[in-house]
Amino acid sequence: MSSADLRDLYQQVIMDHNKKPRNFREMEDANHLAHGNNPLCGDALVVFVKLDGDVIEDLSFQGSGCAISVASASLMTETLKGKTLEQAEHIYQQMHKQLTGEEFDHAALGKLEVLGGVKEFPARVKCATLSWHTMHAAMDNDHDISVSTE
Ligand code: ZN
């Protein structure tokens, strides 16, 4: 795919997921949750996780933020739902590599590769990673925890 095509796709996907965020709801029976804040942009999200053993049975989020933070969270919930913790950890690591410009496992990211487009706007990378860090913190803790990009 040419870089112009990738840029178009990036904008389309961000717009679509921002307008209609997937899994945008509070989860009553979540067994893990975390609050994430990106003070630089004003993004504030809550990520809800329902783990069944080592499987992510349900994943959702709420809050408010810019288009990139909302779209990234939406894509994340869509991708990680139904995955095992091990698979989720692998995808999380690949997202991190993609956004820091390292080599990554393209097959593992699939559709998430469009989020790599955010690298053209370095100030917004934290918007894209917020939900991912928040999800990671939620998995690691059995109580509500707050994470900040600062
Ligand atoms: Zn933002």
Structure confidence at residue 131 (pLDDT): 97
Structure confidence at residue 1 (pLDDT): 66
Q: Which amino acid is at 2?
A: S
Structure confidence at residue 31 (pLDDT): 94
CA of 47 to the centre of ligand 1 (A): 16
Sequence-distant (6+) residues with CB within 8 A of 149 are 36, 37, 38, 39, 40, 126, 129, 130, 133
CA of 52 to the centre of ligand 1 (A): 31
Q: Kindly report the backbone phi and psi dihedral angles of residue 69, in degrees, each rounded to the nearest multiple of 5, phi listed first.
A: -65, -40
Spell out the domains of the chain, with CATH numbers in brackets. Answer: 3-148 (3.90.1010.10)
- Strand pairing report for 145-148 and 32-38: parallel
Average pLDDT, the chain: 94
**Residue 3: C-alpha distances to residues 8, 102, 120 (Å):** 9, 17, 11
pLDDT digits over 104-143, tens only? 999 999 989 999 989 888 889 999 999 999 999 999 887 8
Structure pTM?
A: 0.94
Residues with CB under 5 A from ligand 1 (ion): 41, 43, 66, 69, 127
